[in-house]
């Protein structure tokens, strides 16, 4: 998606340790009309897949997921990173290692919100090591639903998550694929 690549070049900032900051439009401030465009692009890519549900994980995936779901006319379910008072115990649970925060946590989705009849599209903002995506795919497997594929805003191709998930036969569509990021802030997109 050319418009996303241009936006990353214009507004993205590279931080030490391979961190790409896109807080001006994606994960702190949200450029809502641009989210609408991204939602339409995911719809274009997956429109023949009879999707019944969009699955994401809190927090940064929610805005894109909601806009994408508006195109498909289906609900969003977002996996929770914490057990809270208003979550039942009847959940699919999967362990996830966060490379960003350097810790482990359990993601959970209440069983009533995913079932074997669902055809699920996973939406998330970033794909790097793929740990969050592995977790969401595992939750879909537990539910017996079918994982139609993944729609990612920004994939860091120089990390291994995307390759590993595609090797499992799962379709992954990323709207911008970053091939290289240098310490001095240069970003190169992969073909």
Spatial distance between the Cα atoms of 92 and 76, rounded to a whole number of angstroms: 16
Minimum gap (Å) between residue 146 Cβ and a copy of itself: 18
Tell me if 55 sits within 8 A of 114, measured CB to CB: yes
Stretch that binds a copy of itself, among 19-27, 132-140, 147-155, 173-181 (CB under 8 A): 19-27
Spatial distance between the Cα atoms of 63 and 44, rounded to a whole number of angstroms: 18
10: contact with a copy of itself by CB under 8 A: no
x/- string (CB under 8 A) for a copy of itself, residues 41-80? Answer: -----------------xx--xx--xx-xx--xxxxxx-x
Copy the structure tokens of residue 145. Answer: 């639903």
17: contact with a copy of itself by CB under 8 A: yes
29: contact with a copy of itself by CB under 8 A: yes
x/- string (CB under 8 A) for a copy of itself, residues 78-97? Answer: x-x-x-xxxx----------
Minimum gap (Å) between residue 90 Cβ and a copy of itself: 11
33: contact with a copy of itself by CB under 8 A: yes
11: contact with a copy of itself by CB under 8 A: no
Torsion of CA 107, 112, 117, 122, to 10 degrees: -30
Torsion of CA 191, 48, 167, 81, to 10 degrees: 100
Minimum gap (Å) between residue 80 Cβ and a copy of itself: 7
x/- string (CB under 8 A) for a copy of itself, residues 105-144? Answer: ----xx-xx-------------------------------
SS3 150: strand
Minimum gap (Å) between residue 88 Cβ and a copy of itself: 8
Contacts of residues 60-66 at CB distance under 8 Å and 24 or more positions apart, as own/partner, are 60/26, 60/27, 60/124, 60/125, 60/126, 61/123, 61/124, 61/125, 63/26, 63/30, 63/32, 63/35, 64/26, 64/35, 64/38, 64/39, 64/123, 64/124, 64/125, 64/153, 65/123, 66/35
Applying CB under 8 A, which residues contact a copy of itself?
15, 17, 19-21, 23-24, 27-33, 35-36, 58-59, 62-63, 66-67, 69-70, 73-78, 80, 82, 84-87, 100-101, 109-110, 112-113
């Amino acid at each position: 998606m050319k418009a996303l690549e241009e936006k990353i070049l214009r507004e993205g900032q590279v931080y030490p340790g391979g961190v790409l900051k896109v807080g001006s439009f994606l994960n702190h401030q949200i450029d809502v009309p641009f989210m609408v465009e991204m939602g339409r692009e995911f719809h274009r890519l997956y429109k023949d897949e009879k999707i019944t549900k969009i699955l994401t994980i809190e927090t940064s995936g929610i805005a894109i997921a909601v806009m994408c779901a508006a195109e498909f006319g289906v609900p969003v379910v977002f996996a929770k990173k914490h057990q809270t008072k208003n979550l039942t115990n009847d959940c699919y649970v999967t362990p996830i290692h966060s490379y960003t925060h350097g810790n482990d946590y359990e993601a959970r989705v209440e069983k009533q919100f995913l079932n074997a009849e669902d055809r699920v599209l996973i939406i998330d903002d970033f794909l790097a090591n793929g740990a969050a995506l592995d977790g969401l795919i595992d939750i879909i497997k537990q539910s017996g639903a079918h994982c139609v594929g993944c729609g990612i805003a920004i994939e860091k191709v120089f990390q291994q998550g995307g390759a590993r998930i595609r090797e499992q036969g799962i379709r992954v569509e990323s709207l911008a694929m970053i091939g290289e990021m240098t310490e001095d802030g240069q970003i190169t997109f992969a073909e």
